Structure 1
Amino acid sequence: MPKKRQDIGEEYKWKLSDIYPDEKAWYDDYSKVERLLGEMEKYKGKLGSSARELYEAIKLSEEIERRGEKLYVYARMKRDEDNTLSSSQVLCDKAEMLGVKVNSQLSFMIPEMMDIPDEVLDKFLEEPELALYKHYFDELRRKKEHILSANEEKILAMTADLSTAPSQIFNMLNNADIKFPVIKDEEGKEVELTKANFGRFMESPDREVRKEAFKALYSSYAKLKNTLGATLNSSIKRDIFYARVRQYSSALEASLDGDNVKVEVYENLIATVHKHIGALHKYIALRKKVLGVDELHMYDLYVPLVKEYKKEYDYNKAKELVLEGLKVLGDDYVNQLKKGMENGWIDVYENEGKTGGAYSWGCYDSHPYVLLNYDNRLDDVFTLAHEMGHALHSYYSNTNQPYVYSQYPILLAEVASTVNESLLLDYMLKNTNDEKEKLYLINHYLEEFRGTVYRQTMFAEFEKIVHEKVEKGEPVTVDEFCKIYRELNRFYYGDEVVLDDEISLEWARIPHFYSAFYVYKYATGFSAATAIKEDIKEGGREAVERYMEFLKAGGSDYPLNILKRAGVDLTTPEPIEKALNYFASLVEEMEKLVK
């Protein structure tokens, strides 16, 4: 059973006091944002009157947004510490309501700026104080046909609170209300199943333990399947509503346009993975052979293939490995990494009510933060490297870019995290003479690849299918969700796997489906990271310098341009092909090791 939060050592908790020392400071900032919002009124209708008026309005809106972001990040992370605390829920609700108010009050700006004649705006941008915002305005102009009138934008901004309802409901169901059964572990002891220890049970060498955990987890989701189905359906309809209002041809096009990415890039990913699906089937067949089972079930897909090699990594060992594995990135990177590990950036262990999974977050006016649910597994070591990759990417972006360009585009979000994982894997493979450990690490990488490229592409395809069905006016019931998801599993995993009925419900527990068309970026990011990692290995110092410039670029250019400068062109199949071919070569190497 997870510990209570107060029973976990302070050295293993993040320090949210680095954002606000106490709730009084939070409420003081909250009041300040409300006051600043009142000051915005004087700029309405005047943004095109002079460069000075435009600049002052932009700076004031940035201050409001920065403080609002800081308020929300603190409140949300406070809630994530323990979702059952009503005091944290109150803070989060207030921050969300303030966010809606901010969006509503500032909604006049973009339409009004877009009404400034191009020749006038170009003249304004010649002023030194506004020259910084050239890319920002180029981006607005690119999206001009999708920007509505000031009144329409205000109405849309007022719907923001409603639009978060599906994800909020899912979050409460998935983190606070859902209860999992007690199962028996390998020693026959009764243990309460949790989302955090589910991964450990899926890696158990005891097949009955894996099976029981698998069925127990999905039995809990099955009890909520109708509610979860309605929640996901609502999320899909929300996506379609906003896409149509902004005159996009589809929800997919609307989502990708934020990164200036064409639908063809998304479709190319799916098509290229389909083309290479044989490598995954070959790996699955190898898994069945090594496990020596007559039937390979879905609960057999995560157990390490090296049965005799079981190793745990305590948190201190994990930190040591990550620091050593990333030394190739240079002293500055490693020093910042160590600073984060030792100065309250990370919330390490699971506790009652804590949000599951892992993430990196923060705001422009704080250092980055990382939430973990560390459980001493090899996966957890790589998760530490992964999330700290996000954190350092944010750190370098925030410290090298002005606020307007500080947030790196979502398309780039998974690159730095995956580069870290890949470098860590290389380090660990290089520093072992143990054939079983080598096999274990290759197995880990293949699993990471399967989960990040093949599985996330399957998720992306699921999202595309269900959104297109709803866009065509076709009803998508819980049974339809299950049918679509089951058939995708059949295609991706092939004939060697028995499709247990429970897997049809996996869609019901995937948080990313409430941020539609996000997961494809895991697959493209992994592919880009593979190319960058190889460049670092072969190119030495110059390659590291190019990569560091990538980390510092934030959102100062379009993401595909930033990647091209780092040597990766995602408008072609090449990076994805390269990654998939690397996967196939490791499957062949693994075949030799297990013979």
Structure 2
Amino acid sequence: MKRNEANNKYKWNVIDLYPNDKEFFNDLDLYIEKNNLLLRFKGKLNEKGIFIQFLKESMETDKSISKINHFLKHLYVEQNNERINNLESIYNNKMQQFDGKFSWISEEVKNIGKEKIIELLESDEELKYYKNSYIEFFKHIKYLLPQKQRELISKVSNSSSIIYEMYEVMRFKDNEEKILIYKDKEYKIDQKFISDILTYSDPIEDQELRALASLKYKEDNNFRKHTFAKIYESIVKEEIESAQLVGMKSFKENFFDDDDFSINDFLELIEFTSKNSNVYYKYYDLIKKYLNLNKFYGTDSSLELFKKEKQEFSIEQAKDIIKKSLKVLGEEYINNLEYCWSNNKIDYFEDENKSTGAFTVNSYNYDSLISMNFTDDIDSISTLTHELGHAVHNLFAKQNQPRPLNGFSNMIAEVASTLNEHLLFEYLLKNEKDEKKKLTLIQNRIEFIFSNFFSAISEAEFEYQCYEASERGEVLTLDKITSILKDANNKILGKSIFNRFDKNSYKYGWISISHIFEQPFYIYKYAVSIAVSFHLYSRFKNSNDPSEIISFLKDGGSLKITELFKKYEFDCSDKNSFKGIIEEVESLVKTFDIILNSKNN
């Protein structure tokens, strides 16, 4: 189903926040007026009572823009909406008047001093929860540039951020429907078709069609691969130069924290994974041998191995399965779950100008929103389960932590979402009697771990080496980027078992790794998160007591990342902590091999 055909309850309704432009501009003008009023505090923050007054007015000012920010999120699901694109442009242009106007704040906070700031915050019941934010500020104060330099940087920050926006525009805006003609038959190539053909098509008869369909689906990336390479090089250089500008010796100081997840933790995780990835090759070798194909392409790797009728699920059926799988977490969890999937909180179906993939958008003042592309299958149920994990986590944190402690980092966030997928798999496998369907579930589970742990680490190594090369002064040409990608894959995953249908496709495969463009050094955090969530899941299986999981969700961002994980007995600096997820996938591949051989014989 396409988004424009769906019932309204299955779509976001944030566009209804502003039925007309006049209301939008009224709120925008009010926000600008409040921002101008904040300028009266310049040079006065050190006066008695002024710092607290300034913080409270700043918080109220931020609240006044939350409606506009929530409204503009509609562009995630309809990127070619002319009205909202115009309003966003006007908003951005009007906000440029404040470029550099608030750079004095950091300098004045610095002059007040850490001890005095903490004392002031602790004396106020509402603001005391911001203490940790200011402790972090003073921790990094050595990187605080003089005010005039910060004013200049602030004035050019909008133009420098355009390079990030270009990736989104190139990937998703102005995309046209793709048609593939194969053996005199016409195929409309969208995400649902790709999902179906990579899973349910005939291994031999449809092998070429799978490969051609995948190439057609990604052909925009191929046509623009050199442009994407230049965009990525610009992003990497901008990040490195920004770090150097504030006095950092390396990009590593910006993306890794010695007091939390350090660069040594990262490098040791890379090394640990490279030494424990033999299972990756073993699994795909089993599939290759079973399919008995002369050539084995990446587009053959996710095929269901036994011919059976595809199971299709409606959204309501999917929700019923999810609710049953998560019921073990207790009534409080289920109540929050049902709230998070109530009408208009999830945008389910794909569209040509909707962002691909699935994601959850959080807000301090509004409910979480989920966007996905539902394709009626088990994979879609898994995706929905994952995103609901985020939404429920956000809700628990809001219910139990004051602002800003109800916000948390990506590494914490992905624990809740992947934990849901562990529970979904357990429920599906437990309730499946058909051995062939069990094998498919195990296959999906293995690929889930491969994608979110092994492949994530491989992509993180690729990203790290790109930054290392750029910092050494090397130019990130398309050939250089693809060479780094090949080396990273070989290091983490070993020699590739796949043949290439198209010898040049690897040159643009990296373009689909959106996080390297939009959230540098996010990917490795995903791998850490899935290891933590498996740790919590294993402990729950042993105890049948969900209280520890609910406690984790309620903790929100009240502790530092590694401190929070240690609270639940997962130590990021001890690589033994990651053995559990490795042992799980090795056990799954062994079971997969046994069942596959029994069916084959």
Question: Which TM-score applies when normalising by structure 2?
Answer: 0.92
Question: Structure 1 residues 518 and 174, CA, compared in 2 at 3 Å: closer, same or farther?
Answer: same
The whole-number CA distance in structure 1 between the counterparts of 2:144 and 2:580 is 38
Residue 72 of structure 1 contacts residue 96 of structure 1 at CA under 8 Å; is this kept in 2?
Answer: no
The whole-number CA distance in structure 1 between the counterparts of 2:129 and 2:537 is 32
After superposition, residues 344-493 of structure 1 pair within 5 angstroms as 344-491=344-491, 492=493
Alignment correspondent of 1:9: 7
SS of aligned partner of 2:304: coil
Alignment correspondent of 1:177: 174
1:136 to 2:133 alignment: yes
Unaligned runs of 5+ in 1: none
Matched residue type, 1:9: N
Alpha-carbon deviation of 1:440? 0.8
After superposition, residues 88-99 of structure 1 pair within 5 angstroms as 88-97=84-93
Alpha-carbon deviation of 1:151? 3.0
The answer to which of 146-155 and 448-457 deviates more is: 146-155
Match 1:164 to one of 157, 161, 164: 161
Residue 361 of structure 1 contacts residue 369 of structure 1 at CA under 8 Å; is this kept in 2?
Answer: yes
Matched residue type, 2:68: L
Residue 72 of structure 1 contacts residue 95 of structure 1 at CA under 8 Å; is this kept in 2?
Answer: no
The whole-number CA distance in structure 1 between the counterparts of 2:184 and 2:494 is 32
Alpha-carbon deviation of 1:126? 4.4
The answer to which of 574-583 and 424-433 deviates more is: 574-583
Residue 322 of structure 1 contacts residue 385 of structure 1 at CA under 8 Å; is this kept in 2?
Answer: yes
SS of aligned partner of 1:404: coil
After superposition, residues 47-58 of structure 1 pair within 5 angstroms as 47-50=45-48, 52-58=49-55
Matched residue type, 2:38: M
The answer to which of 289-298 and 463-472 deviates more is: 289-298
Alpha-carbon deviation of 1:321? 0.8
Alignment correspondent of 2:527: 523
Matched residue type, 1:113: V
Alpha-carbon deviation of 1:24? 4.1
Alignment correspondent of 1:62: 59
The answer to which of 422-431 and 530-539 deviates more is: 530-539
Alignment correspondent of 1:563: 565
Alignment correspondent of 2:146: 149
Residue 118 of structure 2 contacts residue 134 of structure 2 at CA under 8 Å; is this kept in 1?
Answer: no
Question: Structure 1 residues 106 and 287, CA, compared in 2 at 3 Å: closer, same or farther?
Answer: farther
Match 2:74 to one of 60, 78, 85: 78
Question: Structure 1 residues 20 and 551, CA, compared in 2 at 3 Å: closer, same or farther?
Answer: farther
SS of aligned partner of 1:191: strand
The answer to which of 165-174 and 444-453 deviates more is: 165-174
Match 2:25 to one of 24, 27, 32: 27
Alpha-carbon deviation of 1:421? 0.7
- For residues 159-182 of structure 1, give each alpha carbon's deviation from its aligned partner in whole angstroms, at most 9, with x where no partner exists: 332232222111111112344641
1:328 to 2:343 alignment: no
The answer to which of 161-170 and 518-527 deviates more is: 161-170
1:536 to 2:543 alignment: no
Alignment correspondent of 1:190: 186
Question: Structure 1 residues 243 and 351, CA, compared in 2 at 3 Å: closer, same or farther?
Answer: same
The whole-number CA distance in structure 2 between the counterparts of 1:138 and 1:399 is 25
- For residues 473-502 of structure 1, give each alpha carbon's deviation from its aligned partner in whole angstroms, at most 9, with x where no partner exists: 011111111222233344525242224521
The whole-number CA distance in structure 1 between the counterparts of 2:100 and 2:568 is 38
Alignment correspondent of 1:274: 274
After superposition, residues 496-515 of structure 1 pair within 5 angstroms as 496-500=497-501, 501=503, 502-514=505-517, 515=519
Alignment correspondent of 1:116: 112
Residue 129 of structure 2 contacts residue 403 of structure 2 at CA under 8 Å; is this kept in 1?
Answer: no
Residue 318 of structure 2 contacts residue 381 of structure 2 at CA under 8 Å; is this kept in 1?
Answer: yes
Question: Which TM-score applies when normalising by structure 1?
Answer: 0.93
Alignment correspondent of 2:575: 573
Residue 326 of structure 2 contacts residue 334 of structure 2 at CA under 8 Å; is this kept in 1?
Answer: yes
Question: Structure 1 residues 246 and 591, CA, compared in 2 at 3 Å: closer, same or farther?
Answer: same
The whole-number CA distance in structure 2 between the counterparts of 1:188 and 1:364 is 53
The answer to which of 552-561 and 474-483 deviates more is: 552-561
The answer to which of 517-526 and 245-254 deviates more is: 245-254
SS of aligned partner of 1:497: coil
The answer to which of 475-484 and 127-136 deviates more is: 127-136
The whole-number CA distance in structure 2 between the counterparts of 1:311 and 1:91 is 43
Alpha-carbon deviation of 1:509? 2.5
Alignment correspondent of 1:107: 103
Alpha-carbon deviation of 1:95? 4.4
- For residues 554-585 of structure 1, give each alpha carbon's deviation from its aligned partner in whole angstroms, at most 9, with x where no partner exists: 32221111122233221221232211121111
SS of aligned partner of 1:293: coil
The answer to which of 455-464 and 562-571 deviates more is: 562-571
SS of aligned partner of 2:180: strand
The whole-number CA distance in structure 2 between the counterparts of 1:41 and 1:214 is 54
SS of aligned partner of 1:183: strand
Alignment correspondent of 1:552: 554
Alpha-carbon deviation of 1:53? 1.3
SS of aligned partner of 2:112: coil
The whole-number CA distance in structure 1 between the counterparts of 2:391 and 2:101 is 31
The answer to which of 561-570 and 511-520 deviates more is: 561-570
Residue 348 of structure 2 contacts residue 371 of structure 2 at CA under 8 Å; is this kept in 1?
Answer: yes
The whole-number CA distance in structure 2 between the counterparts of 1:33 and 1:173 is 31
Question: Structure 1 residues 428 and 153, CA, compared in 2 at 3 Å: closer, same or farther?
Answer: same
Matched residue type, 2:507: S
- For residues 258-298 of structure 1, give each alpha carbon's deviation from its aligned partner in whole angstroms, at most 9, with x where no partner exists: 99421112212211110111111111111212222233212
Alpha-carbon deviation of 1:212? 1.3
SS of aligned partner of 2:573: coil
Residue 415 of structure 1 contacts residue 528 of structure 1 at CA under 8 Å; is this kept in 2?
Answer: yes
Residue 276 of structure 1 contacts residue 580 of structure 1 at CA under 8 Å; is this kept in 2?
Answer: yes
Matched residue type, 1:573: K
The whole-number CA distance in structure 1 between the counterparts of 2:59 and 2:476 is 41
Question: Structure 1 residues 340 and 141, CA, compared in 2 at 3 Å: closer, same or farther?
Answer: same
Alignment correspondent of 1:211: 211
The whole-number CA distance in structure 1 between the counterparts of 2:139 and 2:509 is 38
SS of aligned partner of 2:38: helix
Matched residue type, 1:38: N
The whole-number CA distance in structure 1 between the counterparts of 2:512 and 2:177 is 13
The answer to which of 500-509 and 221-230 deviates more is: 500-509
Alpha-carbon deviation of 1:195? 4.5
Alignment correspondent of 2:596: 594
Alpha-carbon deviation of 1:435? 0.9
Alpha-carbon deviation of 1:423? 0.6
Alignment correspondent of 1:300: 300
Alpha-carbon deviation of 1:98? 5.9
Alpha-carbon deviation of 1:450? 0.9
Residue 414 of structure 2 contacts residue 526 of structure 2 at CA under 8 Å; is this kept in 1?
Answer: yes
Matched residue type, 1:526: I
SS of aligned partner of 2:370: strand
SS of aligned partner of 2:404: helix
SS of aligned partner of 1:351: coil
Alpha-carbon deviation of 1:145? 1.5
Residue 547 of structure 1 contacts residue 566 of structure 1 at CA under 8 Å; is this kept in 2?
Answer: no
The whole-number CA distance in structure 2 between the counterparts of 1:261 and 1:101 is 37
